[in-house]
Structure 1
Amino acid sequence: MTPSALSSAQVGCELGQEVGYSIRFEDVTSEATVLKYMTDGVLLRESLTEPDLDKYSAIIMDEAHERGLNTDTVARRRDLKLIVTSATMDANKFSEFFGSVPVFKIPGRTFPVDILYAKVPQEDYLEAAIKQAIQIHLSQPKGDILIFMTGQEDILATCEGISERLIECGEGVPPILVLPVYSLLPSELQAKIFDPAPDGARKVIVATNIAETSLTVDGIYYVIDSGFCKLKVYNSRMGMDSLTVYPTSQAGCNQRSGRAGRTGPGRCYRLYTEYAYSHELLVQTVPEIQRTNLGNVVLLLKSLGIDNLLTFDFMDPPPQDNLLNSMYHLWFLGALANTGELTPMGRRMVEFPLDPTLAKMLLFSEDLGCVDDVATVVSCLSMPTIFYRPKEREAESDAAREKFFAPESDHLTLHNVYLQWRRNNYRSDWCNKHFIHAKAMRKVKEVREQILDICKQLKMRVTACGSDVDQRFGV
């Protein structure tokens, strides 16, 4: 959304006219749009209705080194002008995959960055990051600090540790502004990292690996790299994805260090040894297609008429166990027949930009007469969370959540939240009072409306079960 807004301002048009964007459950384009920003998942879904993608003359695939699940599938198309860009990708590998296409290296306009490694391995990267941040603040010239951590828990602990250490330093120490950035933080608090620090203060931003590429903050001169990140990994035995802490790849480390050279010469402090960087870290991050659940992609590829997925020309083929497990799961849901082809149920499931399990739940709810209610639950489940649990107010937020608690199901708890929000006229102040993400709830409302539109296109009977307890247990 942000790049499209910037481009529309530079072109001098209203967002959604000549320049627009399209993400899951949101399309801000028109017939006048000539430049369209979109996610790889949206592009893949567009290929369902328009296999040749005739309305596009060129596709630019940015940050290709991230190797997202949909990116690897979209990358198979060879009948369009495709420009693949990245600062750290394996260019030769992409070139060979597309038939030895030419590679262009464009020099960047960044400033030099000094890389400083730890002399010995760090037992506690969190403690090491806190000490390094304080040392920079007390001994180095002005310039903001960016610290890379794995997730919310580590980020909050780092922020708290820096604030406590600064108090221990006593009076006369220059002020410091510590700002966390993670996905569940309300957007208005995330936006504070772009505000200039008060006079004489130094900003310290503690973020996840989203700040490697997705965020660019002016004034960053120092980067502290913990050397770890969280990756979504699929466990085929459990049949679930989980976020697990892994060492960062060399490509990720280089992306992180580059953050220090955007506005002037900078420094990157790596909390691991040079030997570990050269000999222990992977050159590139393991592609998402080799480590996550493939159910959605298998369903999409089957709908595109690709029958034998075991021989499909993936750039990096996924583990056969993951592929077979995903196909078994789709067969269990009724999306695939015994011989592997797509069933009528599967073709209806493809219409929903949802996980196959959620799509099946929506379709099955028609038989129970509760499509409206299940659409609400599915919309809530499409958000990371709708509850906000601020530090030092955990007990208060937990008490507020208990007001919506349904002993039968967590899904009914989400349903209760939405119903109460609707009865209170979708007010943001009501959300704030009950420790609920107002922005997430507005997104839930938008997603719900679009899901119900798809249900109507499929000629499903959209009804609500109301106070019928037996049907509510079905949810």
Structure 2
Amino acid sequence: MLPNANTPKTDSGSQNGKRPFHSPSPQSNKKQKLMNGSAHSYVQLQEERQQLPIYSARKKLLQQVQRLASAIVIGETGSGKTTQIPQFLYEAQMHRNHLIACTQPRRVAAMTVAERVAAEKGAEVGELVGYCVRFDDMTNENTRIKYMTDGMLLREAILDPILKRYSIVILDEAHERTVHTDVLFGVVKAAQKQRKNRGLMPLKIIVMSATMDVDHFSQYFGDAPVLYIQGRQFPVEVLYATEPQSDYLFAALVTVFQVHKDAPPNEDILVFLTGQEEIESAVKSIKDIAQDLSQDYPPLVVCPMYAALPAYHQLRVFQPTPKGSRKVIVSTNIAETSVTIHGIKHVIDTGMVKAKSYNAGSGLDLLRVQRVSQAQAWQRTGRAGREAPGSCYRLYTEPEFGKMNINAVPEIQRCNLASVVLQLLALGISDVLSFDFMDKPSKDSLEAALQQLEWLGAVAVADCSAQGKLKLTAVGKQMAAFPLDPKLAKILLVAREHNCLDEMLTIVALLSVESILHTPQNKRDEAVAARKKFVSPDGDHLTMLNIYRAYKSFNGSKQWCFENYVNGRNLKLAAEVRKQLHEISCRLQLPSNSCGRDTTPIRKCLTAGLFMNSAELQKEGKYATLITRKAVAIHPSSSLFMCKPACVVYTELVQTTKCYMRDVCVVDPDWLTEAAPKCFKKKKMST
């Protein structure tokens, strides 16, 4: 069981160079074989299945699920619910020869769990057990257990609103409350009701999580019964800081070495930080300090963990720690629920996470560092108790913990809803303001999304504040065909007018994957110098295009990627994404063409989709967004960081010490007026 309010706590410590804790705990590639070992023999895997806590509850669980239309399953971390419940349902023939869907908020979870379950069934991935994530479908006509991201099931619902291929839909990790998950709740609930009203085969819904607001979920799904599954979580001692930490990164480093000093070797440490740059900085610092302590303490194996990390580095996280050594994993929130790392005995929780934040009034869509919720904090704590008793060091005080939100604010209430509204309209839901959301977003956010779609030409709306039922335009229907943000879909559609679809497919594919740049903290200067030959004076999108062209000219050489500090795994994924986008473009009969080395058509296309993300240089030498007049700056990682172009568009804003524009492109102000005359008056912009 995850610890509760009665978990033993020890409060101590301070900041400014002093140890934040002075009372440590007493014990102080898609077919790759994954951490639990797909390479295990079939017999071994069956033995491991039978040792899972959920296995003894199999008979009773099936009896309960058999009689229920909807159920909420709370299974403690490590109980085996994600891998076993779909198998139980299949083995009991409850699927009625239809598909069992098990949705995941993250693609890495869908892929890794499918690998494991396929191995347990003695099958290849893509046969009986498969997965489907964006731009990667490993299923066939024989697949019966299908792990998939919630976004992919949503896309299927556009073509089949009652989900007739499925007999059971399992919504896993429901507590994460991503945008797609929340929309899927309403879509699946509606499909279940429609099938019942039309006398069709019933649709069974199972909602699963390790922790959630049980009553809220139960009420939403018609007072669905809650089934509890015993886990094997070991006790975790929680230690709070006695004073607020002004620098959580420094406090994390101090705590790592406090644990390293006091705890026996082979008790590994997991540190939660917020993003790649922060993690790389921490990893370098830990390695540097560990070198100075090498004669007095066990060796440290330090591993970063974040989504953009190359595959060969990610594998190090799951490798056994050498005897007599200690592994320190520095990770984003990807390690909260999506992956399981063996050997963790100590968790260091900074209490911070990078999350989307959208303000409909200002129109600003930011990625910012903020406090986690109490539920997220307990998820992190639970990582220390998977295999044995452990300890969690919280770099915040107990009163600070008490002030945190109990649950994270659902993403649907803090993000730009343009994609959501486009999907709902594509599903045939014309009255989006009345959609059955579990937690309804504000009317202002929905109306702002409608206005953005109108500006993009996806809906014909005269007055977004006084709308009843809406329909997509021909352009909107084509935009909905792409599994992309509406702005990126619009970029591809206008490429036909500028004869540069080949280039735009590449750029949009690159924007659809994690960063293609790999910049180690200790080799930043070398990485920048190696990539200088690719830099375009027109901005980051053209620079990325140059890198991709060079990558393809060297046939995706790993050595070339290594020498130029680019992420070969993400470039390979971008190539796969591009292929999928090209196939969709062909279905939409978009002409395939190229503008060669002329960047003007490319920048005009980017303007047509990103005009809402535009900024101009002010007289005092700083930038302000054109629509909201927000003060912004070019991100230090941008190829334009030392430049001062008069007018730019950008892919996203990131809030750290400043509000930074990321992925910046130089544009002509007149192009903005041409792209969105309703947004920009025909006037000379200030320079």
For Structure 1 versus Structure 2, the TM-score category normalised by the shorter chain is over 0.9
Given candidates 443, 461, 470, the residue that maps to 2:591 is 461
Once the two structures are superposed, residues 124-146 of structure 1 have per-residue CA deviations (whole angstroms, 9 ceiling, x without a partner) of: 22222222221211112341111
Q: CA distance change for structure 1 residues 405 and 164 in 2, over 3 Å: closer, same or farther?
A: closer
How far did 1:13 drift? 0.8
Deviates more, 1:285-294 or 1:148-157: 148-157
Q: CA distance change for structure 1 residues 156 and 463 in 2, over 3 Å: closer, same or farther?
A: closer
Deviates more, 1:372-381 or 1:181-190: 181-190
Give 2:440's aligned amino acid. P
Q: CA distance change for structure 1 residues 152 and 466 in 2, over 3 Å: closer, same or farther?
A: closer
Give the SS at the match of 1:57. Answer: strand
Superposed, 1:61-460 pairs within 5 Å as: 61-76=171-186, 77-78=188-189, 79=192, 80-142=203-265, 143-169=267-293, 171-237=295-361, 239-278=363-402, 280-338=403-461, 340-460=470-590
Given candidates 29, 37, 51, the residue that maps to 2:161 is 51
Q: Distance in 2 between matches of 1:157 and 1:426?
A: 29
Q: CA distance change for structure 1 residues 185 and 402 in 2, over 3 Å: closer, same or farther?
A: same
Give 1:463's aligned amino acid. N
Q: CA distance change for structure 1 residues 313 and 31 in 2, over 3 Å: closer, same or farther?
A: same
Once the two structures are superposed, residues 398-439 of structure 1 have per-residue CA deviations (whole angstroms, 9 ceiling, x without a partner) of: 122221222234322222222222222232222222221111
- Between the aligned residues of both structures, percent identity stands at 46
Gaps of 5+ in 1: none
Deviates more, 1:409-418 or 1:301-310: 409-418
Q: Distance in 2 between matches of 1:366 and 1:154?
A: 40
Q: Distance in 2 between matches of 1:359 and 1:29?
A: 26
Gaps of 5+ in 2: 1-110, 193-202, 463-469, 606-687
Deviates more, 1:1-10 or 1:238-247: 238-247
Please identify the structure whose Cα radius of gyration is greater: 2
Q: Distance in 1 between matches of 2:598 and 2:314?
A: 41
Q: In structure 2, what is the equivalent of residue 36 of structure 1?
A: 146
Q: In structure 2, what is the equivalent of residue 21 of structure 1?
A: 131
Deviates more, 1:187-196 or 1:412-421: 412-421
What count of residue pairs does the alignment treat as equivalent?
474
How far did 1:184 drift? 2.5
Q: In structure 1, what is the equivalent of residue 665 of structure 2?
A: none
Give the SS at the match of 2:137. Answer: strand
- Does the aligned pair in 1 maintain the 2:130–2:138 contact within 8 Å? yes
- Does the aligned pair in 1 maintain the 2:284–2:522 contact within 8 Å? no
Q: Distance in 1 between matches of 2:284 and 2:540?
A: 32
Q: CA distance change for structure 1 residues 230 and 456 in 2, over 3 Å: closer, same or farther?
A: same
Give 2:385's aligned amino acid. G
Q: Distance in 1 between matches of 2:230 and 2:138?
A: 33
Give 1:333's aligned amino acid. L
Q: Distance in 1 between matches of 2:433 and 2:154?
A: 20
Q: Distance in 1 between matches of 2:497 and 2:552?
A: 25
Give the SS at the match of 1:263. Answer: coil
Deviates more, 1:390-399 or 1:21-30: 390-399
Give the SS at the match of 1:389. Answer: coil
Deviates more, 1:125-134 or 1:246-255: 125-134
Deviates more, 1:461-470 or 1:42-51: 461-470
Q: Distance in 2 between matches of 1:151 and 1:413?
A: 23
Give 1:104's aligned amino acid. L
How far did 1:179 drift? 1.5
Give the SS at the match of 1:345. Answer: helix
Give 1:286's aligned amino acid. V
Q: Distance in 2 between matches of 1:468 and 1:179?
A: 42
Q: CA distance change for structure 1 residues 203 and 30 in 2, over 3 Å: closer, same or farther?
A: same
How far did 1:64 drift? 0.6
Q: Distance in 2 between matches of 1:408 and 1:225?
A: 41
Instruction: Please tell me the root mean square deviation across aligned C-alpha atoms, in Å.
Output: 1.7
- Does the aligned pair in 1 maintain the 2:353–2:370 contact within 8 Å? yes
TM-score between the two structures when normalised by the length of structure 2: 0.67
How far did 1:173 drift? 1.7
Give 1:404's aligned amino acid. F
How far did 1:212 drift? 0.7
Q: CA distance change for structure 1 residues 410 and 174 in 2, over 3 Å: closer, same or farther?
A: closer
- Does the aligned pair in 1 maintain the 2:252–2:350 contact within 8 Å? yes
Give the SS at the match of 1:48. Answer: helix
